[in-house]
Chain A
């Protein structure tokens, strides 16, 4: 049982490039979310999904897109990378609002 798997673990992008951060879970969780973590800021919600085909914006959605075509996968797309998007990105899933998240191991992204 792998839990939540994120790829890649590290990435360096140039300003203006686009990329997709992958997230997959094998726990059949309905809820999935993407957070970014910056020093002193805590984790901030980017986008979330309450089921396949349903996504919504979190606190800091600008510059990011998501889709949820299957229960298992929830990719995060950076449309045109900016230095302000340098951060650690965590994908998480849970089986409902009263349950805690299981997090992936994170993607460390640097935009130069």
Chain B
């Protein structure tokens, strides 16, 4: 089983739609969680950290469920510019280690 698993998609949605991505992780001791966005042939860029209580940044909402070991990303009112691959990232060790584990990514395509 992979340490971090994501549905590869693609998710094809119209503008204005709400779309949700899930990601599961295998190490129950994982300490920190992130969502990254990667455009085609570009470097990944941090979208948001994921906190235990859940957090929101504009149209984006991230949730963490430690009991079920998954994190989610909700995008409301999708824009064409949201088209990208979304990477789920987990730090499985903490304690000074820095071995972030990336999921393979979920592709999102937003169409007019």
Contacts and interface: CB of A to CB of B under 8 A. Distances in A.
B55 interface: no
Nearest to B8: A40
A97 B44 CA distance: 17
B46 A97 contact: no
A45 B89 CA distance: 12
Interface string B68-112: 000000000000000000010101001111111111110000000
B98 A50 contact: yes
Interface residues of A, number: 26
Contacts of A102: 46
A94 B49 CA distance: 13
A42 B99 contact: no
Which DSSP category, helix, strand, loop or mixed, fits chain B's interface?
loop
Interface string A47-78: 01010000000110000000000000000000
A40 B34 contact: no
Contacts of B102: 35, 42-44
B43 A106 contact: yes
Interface of B: 4, 8, 31-32, 34, 36, 42-46, 49, 87, 89, 91, 94-105
Contacts of A105: 42-43
B93 to A, nearest CB: 8
Nearest to A90: B43
A101 B96 contact: no
Contacts of B96: 50, 97
Given A40-B104, A50-B96, A98 B31 contact: yes
Nearest to A91: B43
Nearest to B35: A100
A90 B33 CA distance: 20
Of B42, B97, B100, B104, chain A has the most CB atoms within 10 Å of the CB of B100
